[in-house]
Structure 1
Amino acid sequence: MDAKKIEEGKVQTRNLGEEWEGWKGEKREDTSEGKSLFLAIGSFVVLLLDLLIIGFTYMISPRLASWHSFLPLVAWTIVTIVILMTIVWMTQIILTAVTGKNFLFLSNPLKYLFDIVFEGSFKISKFLGISKDRLGNSFVKSYNEMSRATKRHESDEKLLILLPRCLTKEQIKEITSLKERYPIEIHVVSGGELARRKIKESRPTAVIGVACERDLVSGIRDVGRKISLIGIPNKRPDGPCQNTVIEIKELIDAIEFYVGPPSQEEERSEELKWL
């Protein structure tokens, strides 16, 4: 049996998630990426958007002048204000993502601009030959910093952790055992629809999602504006949707960001359990 048929067999035996439909067993790539990739492409999208606005205003200025000589000045004043707002908006996103401090004072008035930048970034990355998983990894890391920076902690924090079914059994068991140390709720879900249902049922104040970049990006777009969320991309040594793993320390760091470290009593009981 040749290598191609073996790979096709592997694809058929695994239960692919909806974000991975059409995967043909291609060679896996290292999707780990820094925040700078998304921030750079996002800034380029904002620049293109501003240039389009300037170009459009330039083309309609003669027509506006034919109606009234004062109208071009009004149009260019509005354009200048809009462009300054987009520059400030993108700058505060970059500062927040890089420093981890909250600079997002202008986020609500321009929240719909985020969708334009998001969609534009992925289209440009495709044109440049950058995989959506690499850009997604960069986006998730940037979003995590913004989520941490803007989070207002509550005294009765209710943290929900959503795990994918494709994690190894050993890691699911290890992660589930964290409930003995932290006040957390953990569920293994089979897809985005079930994840959204669990969030609706549990009504948490914060969510930690473990998944591939594609599912995390989709989840952030669905619920990221409504609730504090941190995404942890998994690693896929055997390809998507099978035997995936994460760095447990990364998960624990996210848990302790929301609920703090375990008390001394909980730590002591955990130590006694292993004696």
Structure 2
Amino acid sequence: MLLLATLFIMVGFLCLYLTQISSLVLYRMFLNIILIAMFLVGLYVLASMVFIIQILKGKKMNAFQSRMIKSSMTMIYPNILNVCGMMGIDKDKVRKVFSDINNQLILSKTYHIDPQHILILIPHCLQKKECPHKITAEITNCKRCGLCDIDNLIRLQEKYPVKLFVATGGTIARKIVRETQPKAVIAVACERDLSSGIQEIRGIPVIGIVNERPEGPCINARVSTGRIEACIQYLQGEGES
């Protein structure tokens, strides 16, 4: 983001230089317009970057600052991913930062949502690969052996009457959201699925929790149920997550 802002400012100064050496009135006017536009965009990006740094440090944002961060991330995030792809940088690191910024924006607000209106979406890879009792169609198929985190998640559902569903992909996740009509979502997934889901689900808060993958991607993943419970409590209005 800092690189992009610097680029805008450099282009602006270049336009300023051209206005000084050009004798054509229309050309100068055109370059002045570009100069002003580049300056405003650069200022906007720099201000957004300052707000993002503040929110990552845990500072609260007002409504204007939150909207500014969201709009700038919508504009810049895809471009940052493209640059990372060209430079061979791990995109998941950028996706993780995007998810963290989104979470901090949500946690900077106050909510009072009944637990029955909170949807928890989890990936099927949280279940042990060797388990014969598949939960993709119905999570109650779990036999509660405790070898994976599914048992703990069902315990959370019993403690708080939240909606708990297994999503095998983005299409299924969107379908579940449409059918259940939640007022908030707590999503567990890898960085890529989280970032795309956060962007696709509009109008309600979506807290993203990156799963742990000690055995590699998409196999025997883990998640902190304590963190999920803290998010439930926060969305209910019971303190900080």
**TM-score normalised to structure 2 length:** 0.76
Letter in 2 for 1:207: V
In the alignment, which residue of structure 2 is the partner of 1:232?
A: 209
Pair 1:186-2:164 in alignment: yes
CA distance in structure 1 between the partners assigned to 2:207 and 2:20 by the alignment = 46
**Dislocated runs of 4+, deviation >6 Å:** 60-64
User: Structure 1's 64 and 73: CA in aligned 2 closer, same or farther, altered over 3 A?
Assistant: farther
2:5 is matched with 46
Distance (Å, rounded) in 2 between the aligned partners of 1:51 and 1:107:
27
Structure 1 unaligned blocks of 5 or more: 1-41, 262-275
Q: Deviations 1:147-206 (Å, cap 9, x if unpaired)?
A: 211x34135462110010110253112101211211311101110111111111111111
1:171–1:222 distance in 2 versus 1, CA, 3 Å: same
Distance 1:155 1:260, change over 3 A: closer
The one-letter code sitting in structure 1 at the alignment partner of 2:235 is: Y
On the 8 A contact 1:46/1:90 being kept in 2, the answer is no
Q: Distance in 2 between matches of 1:240 and 1:257?
A: 29
1:13 is matched with none
- CA 1:180–1:80 in 2, change beyond 3 Å: closer, same or farther? same
Aligned length: 218
Q: Which structure 2 residues correspond to residues 124-139 of structure 1 after superposition, within 5 A? A: 124-139=83-98
Partner residue in 2 for 1:16: none
How many Å apart are 1:211 and its aligned residue? 0.6
Shift of 1:212: 0.7
Q: CA deviation at 1:215?
A: 0.5
Closer, same or farther: CA 141–55 of 1 in aligned 2, 3 Å: same
Match of 2:231 among 251, 254, 263: 254
Could you tell me how far 1:73 is from its partner in structure 2? Answer: 4.8
Matches within 5 A, 1:1-275: 42-52=1-11, 54-55=13-14, 65-67=24-26, 72-73=31-32, 75-103=34-62, 105-108=64-67, 111-149=70-108, 151-154=109-112, 156=114, 158-169=117-128, 170-223=148-201, 225-260=202-237
User: Counterpart of 1:211 in structure 2: which amino acid?
Assistant: A
| Equivalent AA in structure 2 for residue 165 of structure 1 | H
In the alignment, the residues of structure 1 paired with residue 23 and residue 180 of structure 2 have an alpha-carbon distance, to the nearest angstrom, of 55
Counterpart-to-counterpart distance in 2, 1:58 and 1:108:
34
Partner residue of 1:19? Answer: none
Question: In structure 1, what is the Cα distance between the partners aligned to 2:27 and 2:20?
Answer: 10
| DSSP 3-state at the match of 1:204 | coil
After alignment, is 99-108 or 250-259 more displaced? 99-108
Residue 32 (structure 1) aligns with: none
Q: Which runs of 5+ in 2 are unaligned?
A: 129-147
C-alpha distance in 1, partners of 2:167/2:126?
11
Please give the TM-score of this superposition, normalised by the length of structure 1.
Answer: 0.68
CA contact under 8 A between 2:15 and 2:34: conserved in structure 1? no
Q: Is the contact made by 1:140 and 1:231 (CA closer than 8 Å) also made in structure 2?
A: yes
Contact kept in structure 2, 1:100 and 1:146, CA below 8 Å: no
